[in-house]
Structure 1
């Protein structure tokens, strides 16, 4: 006599094969793609980010070709850097903000501002973008201005801005914040300044302008706003068709330890664009935070004297 199948909910005696509901052998669900029997208590993993967003995109060369990295800046315009060799990432250092390890291995920085065709043809001011390289031509950082259209075109060179410094992974390692100041140097309240943050939100230094009737003078400060170095330049209005050197000096201005150079780009480029090239030289053993502050001083000088000079 054949054995009678047990009723549902009863324990199986020895010799019976386990019974499964018919739904367990149905095909994949149209919603999740998993068998119905496996759906109980199961949830598809949620994405770690809310889908693709508009921003700047950098293509970097990797072992498998070029990798597109989405930068954390909400803009509709994209930057594609192809065939670009990046400086190898150094190991982390103690007492060094993450991302500034690159500065510990270099004593020279080259800064190239990218030319914007729209700006050249129409005069419509766009967000500035800079390539920051070492002396070997390897990319170290990418700097991207983040300001709105009205501020750029109404305030022009005197505009406040946020400049984001990004590494080869698209991570923001430094942030430069410049408040709104008018271009007149007749009053102390009009003196220029910029704050350097690394990582973003953590100030590591400041650059402030010192009053002088005709010469550009800046003071480099640490995170406690203590004066560390000076930057002294020539009368910019009297300089043409040559490089312009802003010397990095000690506090007493007697010892020269480096320089920030505005490099002459040729008559055509200087006349029709405001895309500038800069070079920075400093001691190799200079504190990485002060190297970052020196980089901030270079950008401040660019906006003070060379932005919008086409």
Structure 2
């Protein structure tokens, strides 16, 4: 009597079974594995895809975006930032010096005038989408507070997994507007704006050297607007450019497109904070199309 372990066939049966099914298993193993991976990824990709509704995404390019007035490298060394959890998005933005933030148009808002949650897509220099951003706010605050409303911006990667979260804190009767940013649950920075000051201050967690985002004189007048990004010593290290969307789009919707460019060697934590700073700039100057 052979010694058969639980779940194991006798040797002779195993040989016959393996011989008869070897060709079939070899042809179907890769197919079954692909179907399994497909079943796991399809729901997640569908979730990310639903965040893009309301407007066509820019077409991908074979050549990167040409960025004028580009700063080659950081003029000063900024250190002391908190360590970030490794992620593929960090690897992607580490190799780029420009990001495009595109706000999706919302048909319901265009035809009815009802304010809907904002949605944005972040692209790299080749216009490949890397992040999807969706505002979370209630209907009453959108209708009553308009562009001054508080919100939470959920930022997800290509597969729908939550990566970052931004939250705006603009309490009533307060002179200071705050935008906090978290990366995978970790606080990485804060952006603030005083009501008597047209500039934004951006501070990364762990570093006492803030960045200054200077507002143009007539930022809310429409057209292309440039927000220079300066170091704490006043040296320019990049720009946030709000592109002119065209007369019809600017008249009937508040959807905008922003270019964010910076040196390649800018710390990744500051690149993430510059992405989140676009939301506060958009709500401060360009959210109300009236």
Match for residue 252 of structure 1?
Answer: 233
Considering only CA atoms, is the larger Rg found in Structure 1 or Structure 2?
A: 1
**Structure 1 contact 160–178 (Cα < 8 Å) conserved:** yes
Structure number with the bigger relative contact order (C-alpha 8 A, sep ≥ 6) is 2
Is 1:297 matched with 2:257?
Answer: no
Question: Residues 71 and 217 from structure 1, CA distance in 2 versus in 1: closer, same or farther, beyond 3 angstroms?
Answer: farther
Gaps of 5+ in 1: 1-61, 88-93
Aligned to 1:264: 244
Q: How much does 1:300 deviate?
A: 0.6
Q: Which structure has more helix as a fraction of its residues?
A: 2
Distance in 2 of aligned mates of 1:243 and 1:231: 16
Is 1:168 paired with 2:158?
yes
- Check the 8 A contact 1:100/1:173 in 2, yes or no: no
Identify unmatched segments of 5+ residues in structure 2.
1-36, 62-81
The 1:295–1:79 alpha-carbon spacing in structure 2 relative to 1, beyond 3 Å, is closer
Among 206, 209, 226, the residue aligned to 2:190: 206
Please report the TM-score for the alignment, with normalisation by the length of structure 1.
0.66
Q: How many residues align?
A: 230
Return the offset for 1:248: 0.3
Q: Which residue does 1:39 correspond to in 2?
A: none
Task: Indicate if the aligned counterparts of 2:60 and 2:126 stay in contact, CA closer than 8 A.
Answer: no
Measured against aligned partners, the alpha-carbon deviations of 1:101-158 in whole angstroms (never above 9, x if no partner) come to 3221211010111110000011111111111101111001000111121221121101
Distance 1:83 1:129 in 2: 12
2: distance between equivalents of 1:169 and 1:304? Answer: 30
Is contact 1:167-1:173 (8 Å) kept? Answer: yes
Query: 1:181–1:83: structure 2 CA closer, same or farther, 3 Å change rule?
Result: closer
| Aligned-partner SS, 1:208 | strand
Alpha-carbon RMSD: 3.2
C-alpha deviation, 1:210, in angstroms: 4.1
Match of 2:254 among 274, 278, 283: 274
Q: 1:88-107, aligned counterparts within 5 Å?
A: 95-97=83-85, 98=87, 99-107=89-97
State the alpha-carbon separation in 1 of the partners of residues 273 and 52 from structure 2. Answer: 27
Deviation of residue 238 (structure 1)?
7.0
Deviations 1:163-192 (A, max 9, x none): 01110111111100101345xxxx8x3221
